[in-house]
Amino acid sequence: MALVACLAEVLKRERVPYLTLRHPPAFTAPELSAVAHIPGRRSAKVVICIADSQPVQAVLPAHYSVDLEALRRLTGSESLRLAREAEIASLYPEFEVGAMPPFGMMYGHRVFVERCFVGEPELVFNAGTHTDSLCMHYGDFADIVRPTVGTFGVAPGKRRVEYQS
């Protein structure tokens, strides 16, 4: 498929090893974890947000939710909201909506990664469709994308603790 080839071209140019995974359709990150038999802590979802009218990608484990206020502070923005489906479709027309890979830098979009991924041996994420994924070492991903790392994800059953200064 052309899109995976486009991503593969970036990875090849950067001399980064990766695996492509073809799997039954998965429309959410937890579904991807289940059909590809990948632990949730290694399965990454990409949440598209709008920070002061600029798109950003938030990358976090499949089973986490985004703490929008923590992400807003990390982005240094006045405002931050989730992007609407129509906005996502126009930002990334070559990807299936909800299957964007975390390579926002290809579009000039900042990428933010949840701190818990740092040091993980591998990261699996959508490769532009709901049936194709890429698997690569987190360190290689970070070398290519140069994301901002921070804490903005909330694990299931956990509450974000607010710190007062």
SS3 56: strand
Please give the structure tokens belonging to residue 112.
């933010």
Domain boundaries along the sequence of the chain: 17-154
DSSP of 62-80: TT-EE-HHHHHHHHT-S-E
CA distance readout (Å), 64 to 30, 43, 157: 10, 10, 10
Please give the structure tokens belonging to residue 138.
């987190």
Let me know how long the chain is.
165
Which DSSP state fits 104?
Answer: G
E strands, the chain, in order: 19-22, 44-51, 54-61, 65-66, 80-82, 110-114, 123-126, 132-136, 148-150, 153-154
Task: Convert the pLDDT of each residue in 118-155 to its tens digit.
Answer: 988 889 998 888 888 888 999 999 999 999 999 999 98
Does residue 161 register a pLDDT over 80? no
Contacts of 135 (CB under 8 A, 6+ apart): 18, 19, 20, 21, 122, 123, 124
Task: Convert the pLDDT of each residue in 56-98 to its tens digit.
Answer: 999 999 889 999 999 999 999 999 999 999 999 999 988 888 8
Distance CA 82, CA 163 (A): 24
Q: Give CATH superfamily name and number for 17-154.
A: YbaK/aminoacyl-tRNA synthetase-associated domain (3.90.960.10)
The pTM of the whole model exceeds 0.75 = yes
Task: Convert the pLDDT of each residue in 91-119 to its tens digit.
Answer: 998 888 888 999 999 899 999 999 999 98
